[in-house]
A and B are shown apart, each in its own frame.
Chain A
């Protein structure tokens, strides 16, 4: 059995930052493994650990810098990695369709039985690539999965989808399939020292458009960012000063005034 996990290196903004053009100034960006993908990696590795003869392969679209993030996934139990990148990809602004084409090409080579992605990336937050990829490959899928069980002969999966308001949908999906994994589905492990050491010798294969049988048109993206702003804030809060007792007594006053204390 082969499990493909998509792993994204995401950027986050430092507390204080400056905007440069349509993005945060590079100097104020920090990089890490996408939180949702961390749960997807854990889900994939756990399935592999419970299955004979299973391999977990990660797929990442990103520059050389992303190898650090990929190594993190390798240290947590991913067996080997594919990183998709070249000059044409670097020059493009990738929309959902472009990412779908790149990852579909990787999947076509790897022929996985199961693909796990995070629900969304914490940086651009489209929340769309996993399901789009499933459709492109003709796979089944389920989005926002917080429980995943595969049946013994690997023909179907039983999943819970986390809907709004504390309700879960119970769904059966035919395999092969793509599942977009929600945080909280498991407790992602920390990489062990041994895992970190082993990760150094695991393969990260770098693949460009030509390697994947794609041409430069594959990264054409009609969705283009035109501006960036900080959302408006309208802070007109009344602040309670003083020591903790004084502050508490003012808060208590508000609660009593609003008539919400009691019963």
Chain B
């Protein structure tokens, strides 16, 4: 069945969902897609593959979207199904730019799609410039310390969009919803998703009141006691940056940064965290950020509302003392 040729010259964006929910990056991709359409012309089409596609399509009918192609095949993401489906949609729609998510699932199929369609790939876009119809993609390199712009000197091309980089588009639109059928030979799939597993204790740190985040500056596992005590006397929830989790000192479910959790607490108290961009990207929407670190040039201070430049091994015990009084009073 044809999905129609209206998107020719336009943009096709493949949205991201997991376990029954569209991920925010889907609506961020719409924003990116709208600016691309301004540059390359044509229409903005979305594709949603697998899961409750009709419900998803209704939600995806937001401002600027001309059509949503629904592919009802399976419940969850499978990279082989996605790659085959996107290849077929691409052949049908012939878009000028193919947009895919920069999520962990995006990493699992976007490069394969770009390769089999022979499309140049610019991954991890955090911004786009479309001056004069030429698209320039801004991406982060050197562990997000620097930004580069890249130009893709060929069209069509493929692009992935980094989670959280673009604002979401949410006003209701007038998109046409079009079911699209792809014959996927299930027996030929090279991979089978068997299930999911929550890692560690089920803990929802996303909207906690007070998150106490510990980073590399804590130095050793033994020193963790210090921040655990602070969490205890304040009633805060302990989380950690990726290096601390990778060291096995704090369990994965408490990780903030780089495929860890997005968090939006009332107060984010960063202890010994330098603030690598992948960490900052996942906590910068906290209401209030307080940072304690010995390095005055640590990037965490760029997103902090309150900063303490000092030795955490002095400041944290002093802070514990401030609240230990509360405990005995209570």
Contact of A254 among B288, B310, B315 (CB under 8 A): B288
Chain A residue nearest in CB terms to B153? A222
Q: Are B18 and A163 in touch, CB under 8 angstroms?
A: yes
Q: How far is the CA of A12 from the CA of B145 in the complex (A)?
A: 9
Q: Does B148 contact A (CB under 8 A)?
A: yes
Q: List A contacts of B319 (CB < 8 A).
A: 248, 251-252
Q: Are A247 and B310 in touch, CB under 8 angstroms?
A: yes
Contact of B322 among A24, A174, A184, A249 (CB under 8 A): A249
Q: Are B121 and A233 in touch, CB under 8 angstroms?
A: no
Q: How far is the CA of A69 from the CA of B152 in the complex (A)?
A: 31
Instruction: Digitize B306-326: 1 where CB-to-A-CB distance is under 8 Å, 0 elsewhere.
Output: 111111001111110111001
Q: How far is the CA of A238 from the CA of B288 in the complex (A)?
A: 12
Q: How far is the CA of A197 from the CA of B121 in the complex (A)?
A: 41
**Nearest Cβ on chain B to A248's Cβ, whole angstroms:** 3
Q: How far is the CA of A144 from the CA of B140 in the complex (A)?
A: 19
Q: How far is the CA of A207 from the CA of B240 in the complex (A)?
A: 43
Known: A127-B107, A172-B194, A248-B322. A238 touches B301 (CB 8 A): no
Q: Are B121 and A171 in touch, CB under 8 angstroms?
A: no
Q: How far is the CA of A228 from the CA of B123 in the complex (A)?
A: 16
Q: List A contacts of B132 (CB < 8 A).
A: none
Q: How far is the CA of A126 from the CA of B123 in the complex (A)?
A: 6
**Nearest Cβ on chain A to B252's Cβ, whole angstroms:** 6
Instruction: Give B137-164 interface residues, CB cut-off 8 Å to A.
Output: 139-154, 157, 163
Contact of B143 among A122, A127, A128, A228 (CB under 8 A): A122
Contact of A128 among B111, B253, B299 (CB under 8 A): B111
Q: Does A111 contact B (CB under 8 A)?
A: no
Chain A residue nearest in CB terms to B315? A244
Q: How far is the CA of A228 from the CA of B139 in the complex (A)?
A: 10
The binding surface of chain B is classed by DSSP as mixed
Q: List A contacts of B262 (CB < 8 A).
A: 164-165
Q: List A contacts of B255 (CB < 8 A).
A: 166
**Nearest Cβ on chain B to A12's Cβ, whole angstroms:** 6
Q: Are B124 and A132 in touch, CB under 8 angstroms?
A: no
Contact of A162 among B104, B146, B277 (CB under 8 A): B104
Instruction: Give A112-133 interface residues, CB cut-off 8 Å to B.
Output: 119, 122-132
Q: Are A238 and B307 in touch, CB under 8 angstroms?
A: yes
Q: Are B104 and A128 in touch, CB under 8 angstroms?
A: no
**Nearest Cβ on chain A to B238's Cβ, whole angstroms:** 14
Q: List A contacts of B291 (CB < 8 A).
A: 237
Q: List B contacts of A230 (CB < 8 A).
A: 145-147
Q: Are A261 and B120 in touch, CB under 8 angstroms?
A: no
Q: Does A217 contact B (CB under 8 A)?
A: no
Q: Are A142 and B124 in touch, CB under 8 angstroms?
A: no
Q: How far is the CA of A162 from the CA of B258 in the complex (A)?
A: 11
Contact of B111 among A125, A131, A228 (CB under 8 A): A131
Q: Does A183 contact B (CB under 8 A)?
A: yes
Contact of A168 among B79, B142, B197, B261 (CB under 8 A): B197
The 3 closest A-B pairs by CB, nearest first: A248-B318, A244-B314, A140-B190
Q: What would be 30 A-B contacts, judged by CB atoms less than 8 Å apart?
A: A12-B142, A122-B143, A125-B139, A127-B102, A127-B124, A131-B112, A132-B115, A132-B121, A162-B104, A163-B196, A166-B198, A168-B196, A170-B194, A170-B195, A184-B252, A226-B148, A226-B151, A227-B149, A228-B147, A229-B146, A231-B147, A239-B308, A244-B314, A247-B308, A248-B318, A251-B308, A252-B322, A255-B267, A261-B210, A261-B235
- Chain A positions near chain B (C-beta within 8 angstroms): 11-13, 15, 19, 22, 24, 95-97, 100, 119, 122-132, 134-136, 140-144, 160-174, 177, 180, 182-184, 221-231, 233-235, 237-240, 244-245, 247-252, 254-255, 258-263
- Chain B positions near chain A (C-beta within 8 angstroms): 18-19, 23, 77, 79, 83, 102-105, 107-112, 114-116, 118, 120-124, 136, 139-154, 157, 163, 190-200, 203, 209-210, 234-236, 242, 245-246, 252-253, 255, 259-262, 265-267, 269, 277, 287-288, 290-292, 297, 299, 301-302, 304-311, 314-319, 321-323, 326
- For the complex with contacts A172-B192, A222-B120, A230-B145, 10 further pairs of A-B residues with Cβ separation under 8 Å are A12-B143, A141-B190, A163-B18, A172-B194, A222-B153, A244-B314, A244-B315, A247-B308, A251-B308, A251-B315
